[in-house]
Chain A
Amino acid sequence: MKGASVLIGGVGGQGVILTARILAEAALALGLGAQMSEIHGMSQRYGSVVSSVRLGKAETPLVKRGEADAIVGFEPLETVRLLPWAYRKTVIVTSITPIRPLSVSLGQEAYPLLEDLHERLKDRAGRVIFIDADRIARSIGSEVVANSVLLGALIGTKALPIPLDSVRKTLVKHVPSKLAAPNLEALDIGYGVAIQDGYSIAFA
């Protein structure tokens, strides 16, 4: 199998590391090689967080710039921060709900226009899926499953050699049992969004 490199970025507390972990564990369970890097400590307090996952044969979990096969952003600004790792075939899955950094709340800096951020993503990557993960999560009745919506969408892009079923199996082992059902639901919907999005491109 050809390996794959994934970057997942977001804001501390959004579940970036857990999502990366589920992806890596699912790959390992399939017998693919998997490694990931996570940064603990300060950044977990609502700061920018990035985790990288590499599937297949790799010497380091770190992803080289311009070589991410997939990028998942839990927050638009954080997605754009990862652009140096994208190239013309990268698949990007991004949430569309901004979370303002403190400097923006204090009026010291401005949050970039969402349209501009979206343009930049589309400009550089092969395929970009904008997904209202938070709204979907709320519709399921649990705000905390937005990360599973995004993970589902990532799997739905087929950018990685991991089938939905493997992720479902791994996910339930890594979330509290109470949250298993809404997380699976979120995963499925996210997957569907990506698949549907693919059709609309194909039939456009």
Chain B
Amino acid sequence: MDPDHERILQARSGETLLLLGNEAIARAALEAGADFASTYPGTPSSEIGLVLDGVAKAAGLTFQYAVNEKVALETAAAASLAGLKALVFMKHVGLNVASDALMTLAYSGVRGALVIVTADDPGCHSSQNEQDNRILARFANLPLLEPSTPQEAHELTKFAFEFSGFLQMPVIVRTTTRVAHARGPVAVGALGKPRGKAHFERDPDRFVMLPAHAREGHKRVLQRLRLAEGISESSPLNRLVDLKEPLDTGYITSGVAYTYLREYADRLAGKVLKLGLTNPLPRVKLAEFLRSVTRVVVIEELEPFLEDAVRALANEYAIDVQVYGKAQGLFPRTGELDPDSVAEGLVRLGTLDADAVKRIRDVKMPKLPARPPVLCPGCGHRAAAYAARQATRRQDVLFPLDIGCYSLVEYPPVRAGDVLLCMGASIGVGAGLAAVTDQKVLAFIGDSTFYHAGVPPLIHAVHQGANLTVCILDNGTTAMTGHQPHPGMPEDGKPAVDMEGLVRGCGVRNVEVYDAYDVKGLTKAFRRAVSHDGVNVIIARHRCRLLELRDMRADGARAPVYQVTPEACTKCGFCIDAFACPALVRLEDESVTIDIALCNGCGVCVEVCPPKAIARVPEENA
């Protein structure tokens, strides 16, 4: 077991560990006695799964990596309908995928307990958007908890299990990157005891959502929400914190924004309403708060979720109070907040002395070259995308792209990306482009993404007779999010779902498989495929080089070593300008050398180099 996971499992009640928010959530689930947990990985939620997967057996919890978030939610829902305590977690956009199940599950409610963690990503550190899922919680009429710190992530997750059990409805815990990926001291409690198996008691009136039952379900969820509102009114999660006199300025805040406000607590006058349970809102408590001040400042990340509600409430109760926040542009509606941006807003409003931000002088910064992430040396994705680019150099080919490490092939020099939307969209968008243009279309999709959301659009493309080439970049793992397994890989006695068989089963006749390092073979295959009618699938397969190297090291083996023969290098620069493996370095005199420290020994550059100046160093000299 990973030593960190072991520490998390073994910690005694009362012990304090330095935990990530995500690790704190995992520990809390164990303390709550969760029986079942499921996810589809996604940053910034992934470490919850890494921990629970690691400790599941020892803790007596059933953990599953689901094929996608919708299935993760459905299976976790089933566990809770059978009376068990279940946890399901995903990144913010994962909840979009699961939302079909979510909206109706709110009507039927749950039995044991069901906690749904959504990890939002303000600032798009690792995401295609920065949607605010608090709005989804309100949309689904589900209770919502917003922790501010790892310690609170622990407390609120544990509470969420109780809350869900009491209300018999799913409860949403919404973290953000700065909570999920903050590491702080967390005092843990005692581990709970999972029950294991359950027996499902039939109750079709509640669980079979035919229209007649759904109409009742809608009423039921609203009635439950009133119970939750009562709890919201009295819960210490929604609490008042006095700063210093005079108290006529109020601050309303939730999530990580609260910690940023606290950074200036000794310089601010007024009082704070710190909200941890933000749907349903404690309307009476809020109204009282609004009446007790002359102006109120709402500080929250992303959407004006609280701010709009506060304004509506002030209006409804005709409370004479000025509401400040995003409406006046004090705080941005896009990107993350941080202590500086919170201070700047407060200084502009005049509740914080300008002294607090005096060190935020504008430093005159030179223009520095950016350093976006790149594919690792030895990555098969680079080789396959390079081959596709070379094969189609002189043609008008569109490259709908998908989400994963391979999204990086959009960066120069390969630039094999024209549309990137969401998981699975490379094939859906590709089918659409094929239908409405005469351009050729070559879609890239990763293996995990293919299982997650690529199968229905592939069926669609075949059925619609699209002229589309799909390249499945099969590295045998979900690499981007931390190398989680997927249904294409056998693990622990779970059978693999064969990719070629699946593709053929979708109706694709033309399926070819190449080693992703086989640039020559792939180039020819791409050339053939794009001029071939119908749907063609090319599987470019090579296990993620990082995993391959890890296994080699464990076996005491070493990756092969490659070198440029200086006399043979013509300084054409093609290897860097077209392929750009980070291990290829251009020297002062324009010749190229291989940085041994970076090279992962894939050997693809041997094929790429026009004058064939790169060769493997014989084992004995390496």
Contact = CB atoms under 8 A, between A and B. Distances in A.
Nearest to B375: A45
A77 B577 contact: no
Interface stretch (A58-66, A161-169, A194-202): A58-66
A73 to B, nearest CB: 12
Contact of A40 (B18, B44, B361, B365): B44
B185 A34 contact: yes
Contacts of B576: 105-106
A47 B259 contact: no
A41 B480 contact: yes
Given A38-B183, A65-B360, A59 B259 contact: yes
Contacts of B340: 64-65
B371 A47 contact: yes
A104 B125 CA distance: 23
A179 B182 CA distance: 27
Contacts of B366: 80, 112, 116, 120
Interface stretch (A20-28, A150-158, A180-188): A20-28
A120 B365 CA distance: 9
B372 interface: yes
B26 to A, nearest CB: 15
B181 A38 contact: yes
Contacts of B259: 59-60
Contacts of A107: 586
Contact of B183 (A21, A87, A111): A21
B411 interface: yes
Contacts of A39: 125-126, 177, 181
Contact of B368 (A43, A61, A102, A112): A112
B298 interface: no
Contacts of A133: none
Contacts of B374: 45-47, 102
A61 B150 CA distance: 11
Contacts of A83: 363, 365
Contacts of A48: 370-371
Contacts of B185: 28, 33-35
A77 B371 contact: yes
A91 interface: no
A102 B412 contact: yes
B60 interface: no
Interface in A75-122: 77-78, 80-81, 83-84, 86-87, 100-112, 116, 120
A4 interface: no
Contact of B262 (A43, A59, A106, A110): A59
A62 B44 contact: no
A35 B184 contact: yes
Given A34-B18, A65-B340, A106-B580, A40 B184 contact: no
Contacts of B585: 100, 105
A109 B339 CA distance: 32
Contact of A37 (B46, B181, B262, B480): B181
B577 A84 contact: no
Say whether chain B's binding surface is mostly helix, strand, loop, or mixed: loop
Contacts of B405: 45
B184 A46 contact: no
A124 interface: yes
Contacts of B371: 11, 46-48, 77-78, 101-102
A33 B149 CA distance: 14
A192 interface: no
B260 interface: yes
Given A45-B376, A47-B374, A65-B360, A59 B263 contact: yes
B557 interface: no
B212 interface: no
Contacts of B411: 102
Contacts of A38: 20, 181-183
A26 B184 CA distance: 13
B373 interface: yes
Given A45-B374, A81-B368, A105 B580 contact: yes
Contacts of B46: 40-41
A7 to B, nearest CB: 13
B318 interface: no
A168 to B, nearest CB: 18
Q: B177, B184, B263, B376: which has the most chain A beta carbons within 10 Å?
A: B184
Interface in B337-373: 338-340, 343, 358-361, 363, 365-366, 368-373
A105 B580 CA distance: 8
A112 B480 CA distance: 31
A42 B584 CA distance: 22
A35 B183 contact: yes
Interface string B448-482: 00000000000000000000000000000000111
Nearest to B479: A45
A101 B343 CA distance: 33
A120 B367 CA distance: 13
B413 interface: yes
B58 interface: no
Contacts of A103: 369-370, 412
B84 interface: no
Nearest to B363: A84
Given A60-B339, A83-B365, A104-B369, A40 B183 contact: no
Contacts of B155: none
Contacts of A149: none
Contacts of A56: none
B47 interface: yes
B181 A40 contact: yes
A41 B481 contact: yes
B359 A66 contact: yes
A170 to B, nearest CB: 10
B582 interface: yes
A35 B16 CA distance: 13
Contacts of B582: 46, 102, 105
A40 B365 CA distance: 26
A145 interface: no
A144 B362 CA distance: 36
Nearest to A173: B3
A36 interface: yes
A77 B369 contact: yes
Nearest to A108: B412
Contacts of B365: 80, 83-84
A45 B382 CA distance: 13
Contacts of B262: 59-60
B47 A40 contact: yes
Contacts of A41: 43-44, 46, 125-126, 480-481
8 nearest A-B residue pairs (beta carbon) = A66-B359, A41-B126, A47-B373, A41-B43, A45-B373, A59-B262, A109-B369, A60-B259
Given A41-B480, A101-B371, 20 more contacts: A35-B182, A36-B182, A40-B44, A41-B125, A42-B43, A43-B125, A45-B376, A47-B371, A60-B339, A61-B182, A64-B263, A65-B340, A67-B359, A77-B368, A83-B365, A102-B411, A106-B576, A109-B369, A112-B369, A120-B366
10 contacts: A21-B18, A24-B18, A24-B183, A39-B125, A41-B44, A45-B374, A60-B178, A64-B343, A77-B371, A103-B412
Interface of A: 11-12, 21, 24-25, 28, 33-48, 58-62, 64-67, 77-78, 80-81, 83-84, 86-87, 100-112, 116, 120, 124, 143
